[in-house]
Structure 1
Amino acid sequence: MDIPLPGELGERARDLLAGRLVPVPPRAAATVALLREPPLEVYLLRRAATMAFAAGAYVFPGGSVDPRDAGHDIGWAGPSPAEWAAALNADEDTARGLVCAAVRETFEESGVLLAGDPVDDTTMWEAERLALIGRELSFADFLATNGLVLRSDLLKPWAHWITPEIETRRFDTRFFVAALPSGQRTRDVGGEADTVVWHSPAEALASGYFLMPPTLHTLTMLTASETIADVFAADPKITTVMPAPVERNGQMVLTTEGQI
């Protein structure tokens, strides 16, 4: 997969290859492809045009890890942080933070809560959701106050992408998949999005939407499955992908050649 790098991005790519550009360190992040059936569909949000990163792109719910996401006081059910560390090729605290961020961000951006015995209606926690978005409330405190535990068994690891070194905002992102809990409904609640849609992976790929390479690749992988059970039975090879700049015929491009 090659992506042209015009203008300033192309110049930054040349500076990087020449050793004149020091890359910005990536921030740990998590994103979740939320699935429902029948038929198999995935939830996508279009990032508002005012967003500093990936404006106008259709993405899955997700975001940066909050330092409090790695707290040992988070109520937890399902595979342990140690088991997730092995699955994510990360240390235990990092794995705990990534899984917590995946569940928290899904709640913040879609209203879907992967915790406790999933309830049908999460609108009772709207004030808490807004406090989570504003970072006025930690997810651990939200769970404890409401007698809930994070359900790590409702997630499956899927991919690992790092933003290219030429970008000024970079993320080290683990991708997960999760099924929409029975009875729950997504809500257009995130604030960072101006449109939300459900599409089959094939429909999303054929839509003409602006899709970032990780989203494009994840949707392509999901087209191999017809049901959520198929997705969870799959055994994707998770490798770290970081598109890299190269010069082809005098033009700078980003490539994932040899990585996926």
Structure 2
Amino acid sequence: MSETVAQPDAQPTAAPIKDASTVMLVRDGARGPEVFLQRRVVGMAFAAGMTVFPGGGVDRSDAAVALDWAGPEPAWWAARFGTDPGRAQALVCAAVRETFEECGVLLAGPTADSVVSDTSVYAEARGQLERRELSFAEFLTREQLVLRADLLRPWDNWITPEVEPRRYDTRFFVAVLPEGQLADGATTEADLVTWCTPDEAIDRWQRGLDVLLPPTWTQLDALREFTSTAAILEATRTIDPIMPIYDPEGEPALAFPQADRYFAALPENARLRGSQRPE
């Protein structure tokens, strides 16, 4: 029986890509707009130990069509993210669900023009959602809540490089913290959470206190130019997918928009570890 032998120059097959949503939660502070960040626990399979925005993968249940929905329709989101309406709806639903699961902020309300002010009453449901014992659509229906898509804005789109074992097509959203709500660290996925200005977050990274992957650094760098959350929400964004290209012979080894600035500002200990590729 003959045996097939892989050729030396054969290229490995890239890992499949999973849809994901990430939300940059912002609020107005004394020093300007602040953003909510969390440091992922070391044991996580993806981006372990990294400082990131709340977010995660899209679930099948996020595509449920029986939702009370306020704001731009899925077709509007589809046009801005370059996808189809069904997928866009799942991405928006995942963005709202993950924000609630990971920091207790719920972009939903009893009516299309209201938002809940105290999310602690949904603490049990939050745990059920995180354990996947309850779908987000079931939760909203049971509590008679309307998903407030109008509180979100589309922001960016990054795709994990082909060389990585786990890959995500991540849509970035931005939302202002609803009045009366508190963002917390009551999640199994983070061991530290904080509010800080984009400048403060980047300064901590440059001092080696936090690790920022290129997509996170890029969003923080973009937020630096705004003086209020209102200005952030009013920003017009052109969203083109970005997939960094890894070239071990290149300088820097990872190519993406503004890579030169990112690597030039890397703390010295991170440079010694290599290119700090996105996971």
Name the TM-score, length of structure 2 as normaliser: 0.83
SS of 1:207's partner is helix
Per the alignment, residue 256 of structure 1 pairs with 256
Paired residues in the alignment total: 242
SS of 2:91's partner is helix
Aligned: 1:187 with 2:184: yes
Asked whether the 8 Å contact 1:29–1:62 carries over to 2, the reply is yes
Per the alignment, residue 39 of structure 2 pairs with 46
Per the alignment, residue 202 of structure 1 pairs with 199
Unaligned runs of 5+ in 2: 1-8, 261-279
Aligned: 1:109 with 2:102: yes
Q: Give how far 1:247 is off.
A: 4.0
- From the superposition, tell whether residues 252 and 84 of structure 1 become closer, same or farther in structure 2 (CA, over 3 Å): closer
Asked whether the 8 Å contact 1:33–1:176 carries over to 2, the reply is yes
Task: Determine which structure has more spread, i.e. the larger CA radius of gyration.
Answer: 2
Q: 2:91 is aligned with what amino acid?
A: L
Per the alignment, residue 221 of structure 1 pairs with 222
Aligned: 1:130 with 2:127: yes
Per the alignment, residue 245 of structure 2 pairs with 244
SS of 2:88's partner is helix
In the alignment, the residues of structure 2 paired with residue 258 and residue 35 of structure 1 have an alpha-carbon distance, to the nearest angstrom, of 23
Write the deviation string for residues 166-202 of structure 1: whole angstroms up to 9, x where unpaired. Answer: 1101110000000000111112112100000001011
Q: Give how far 1:120 is off.
A: 2.1
In the alignment, the residues of structure 1 paired with residue 22 and residue 178 of structure 2 have an alpha-carbon distance, to the nearest angstrom, of 17
Aligned: 1:37 with 2:34: no
Asked whether the 8 Å contact 1:241–1:259 carries over to 2, the reply is no
Q: 2:229 is aligned with what amino acid?
A: I
Aligned: 1:26 with 2:17: yes
In the alignment, the residues of structure 2 paired with residue 34 and residue 167 of structure 1 have an alpha-carbon distance, to the nearest angstrom, of 27
Q: 2:108 is aligned with what amino acid?
A: A
Task: Kindly indicate whether structure 1 or structure 2 has the higher relative contact order, using CA contacts under 8 Å at least 6 residues apart.
Answer: 1
- From the superposition, tell whether residues 48 and 259 of structure 1 become closer, same or farther in structure 2 (CA, over 3 Å): closer
Per the alignment, residue 11 of structure 1 pairs with none
Q: Give how far 1:232 is off.
A: 1.1
Asked whether the 8 Å contact 1:158–1:177 carries over to 2, the reply is yes
Identity of aligned residues (%): 48
Per the alignment, residue 9 of structure 1 pairs with none
Write the deviation string for residues 200-255 of structure 1: whole angstroms up to 9, x where unpaired. Answer: 01110111220011000000000010100110111122110001122436x88221
Pairwise CA RMSD of aligned residues? 1.7
Q: Give how far 1:259 is off.
A: 9.6
Write the deviation string for residues 38-94 of structure 1: whole angstroms up to 9, x where unpaired. Answer: 231000000001111111100000000011101111221111111111121110110
Q: 1:54 is aligned with what amino acid?
A: A
SS of 1:98's partner is helix
Asked whether the 8 Å contact 2:252–2:259 carries over to 1, the reply is no
Write the deviation string for residues 102-145 of structure 1: whole angstroms up to 9, x where unpaired. Answer: 00000000000000122221011111001111111111110011
In the alignment, the residues of structure 1 paired with residue 34 and residue 52 of structure 2 have an alpha-carbon distance, to the nearest angstrom, of 14
Q: 2:118 is aligned with what amino acid?
A: D
SS of 2:42's partner is coil
| Structure 1 segments (4+ residues) deviating >6 Å | none
Unaligned runs of 5+ in 1: 1-17
In the alignment, the residues of structure 1 paired with residue 259 and residue 233 of structure 2 have an alpha-carbon distance, to the nearest angstrom, of 23
Q: 1:215 is aligned with what amino acid?
A: T
1:89-168 matched pairs, under 5 angstroms: 89-116=82-109, 117-168=114-165
